[in-house]
């Protein structure tokens, strides 16, 4: 009787011991995992960086780029609470004069960006448009199997003047939504005379169409010579590319 009790007790301890060992091993591996390895496992192919340093909990990504979109040097770390639910989410932050923040995750065919706030400078413009910066306000996007599944928040752009007789710069913004499997953001300028529609597909291909309304002939004429075409109520230009 006593021998049987000892056998059962030892067997129970062995099971608990293996479970504890497995948990401790998993926690230890995650705690020691370099950020470089984690980013390589989770990031889409179009995400590149000059350098990745630190642990998965607190690291730094130098010159982070999403395709042609330059995010600069970002502080990154794995968020612990979502990890307990089986989701790997990274907190991305850039401090300084032009702060930026976002939460990013990727799993299989599901890519999520949430809580995107701040600005990103575009020194090379955006295709054929003289876009100098992007502005994000509580933007959240979920792409599922290459299609936009959910979108909230706002996206804005600042354009340098496309012509000598136009104001120096104009800012446009609009609410994000999903349409036909793509992320679509219809933007307007403060006076409603400038309209830009941005469309981003799940594979990173994008299209932008800018329309300027109410311009006098002495302003619209030179712009049409520079690539703008006549549109209902104004003139416009389209461009495209891939992030």
Identify the residue with better confidence: 147 or 13: 147
Each residue's pLDDT tens digit, 158-173: 999 876 666 678 899 9
Each residue's pLDDT tens digit, 82-110: 877 777 889 999 998 889 999 998 777 78
Provide φ and ψ at 24, rounded to 5°. -65, -40
Q: Where are the alpha helices (DSSP H) in the chain?
A: 2-32, 35-42, 80-84, 217-225
How far apart, in whole angstroms, are the C-alpha atoms of residue 195 and residue 54?
43
Q: Per-residue confidence at 175, pLDDT binned at 50, 70, 90?
A: very high
What 3-state DSSP class applies to 58?
coil
Contact 61, 51 (CB under 8 A): yes
Tokens representing 193 are 């005379």
Distances (CA, A) of 235 to 68, 210, 211: 27, 8, 6
**Mean pLDDT (the chain, rounded):** 84
How far apart, in whole angstroms, are the C-alpha atoms of residue 83 and residue 156?
32
Which residue do the tokens 């056998």 mark?
7
Each residue's pLDDT tens digit, 11-63: 444 665 555 544 444 554 555 678 888 777 777 778 889 999 998 888 999 99
Which residue do the tokens 């575009």 mark?
122
153 pLDDT more than 90: yes
């Amino acid at each position: 009787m006593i021998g049987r009790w000892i056998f059962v007790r030892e067997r129970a301890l062995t099971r608990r011991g293996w479970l504890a060992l497995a948990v401790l091993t998993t926690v230890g591996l995650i705690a020691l995992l370099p950020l470089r390895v984690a980013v390589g496992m989770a990031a889409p192919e179009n995400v590149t960086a000059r350098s990745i340093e630190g642990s998965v909990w607190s690291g730094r990504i130098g010159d982070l780029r999403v395709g042609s979109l330059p995010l600069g040097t970002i502080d990154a770390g794995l968020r612990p609470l979502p990890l307990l639910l089986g989701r790997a989410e990274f907190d991305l932050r850039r401090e300084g004069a032009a702060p930026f923040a976002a939460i990013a995750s990727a799993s299989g065919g599901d890519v999520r960006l949430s809580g995107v706030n701040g600005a990103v400078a575009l020194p090379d413009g955006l295709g054929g448009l003289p876009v100098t910066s992007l502005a994000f306000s509580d933007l959240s996007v979920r792409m599922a199997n290459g299609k936009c599944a959910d979108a909230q928040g706002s996206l804005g752009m600042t354009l340098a003047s496309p012509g000598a007789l136009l104001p120096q710069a104009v800012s446009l913004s609009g609410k994000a939504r999903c349409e036909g499997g793509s992320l679509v953001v219809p933007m307007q300028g403060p006076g409603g005379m400038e309209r830009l529609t941005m469309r981003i597909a799940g594979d990173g291909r994008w299209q932008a169409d800018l329309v300027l309304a109410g311009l006098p002939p002495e302003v619209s004429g030179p712009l049409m010579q520079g690539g703008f075409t006549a549109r209902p109520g104004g003139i416009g230009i389209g461009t495209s590319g891939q992030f």
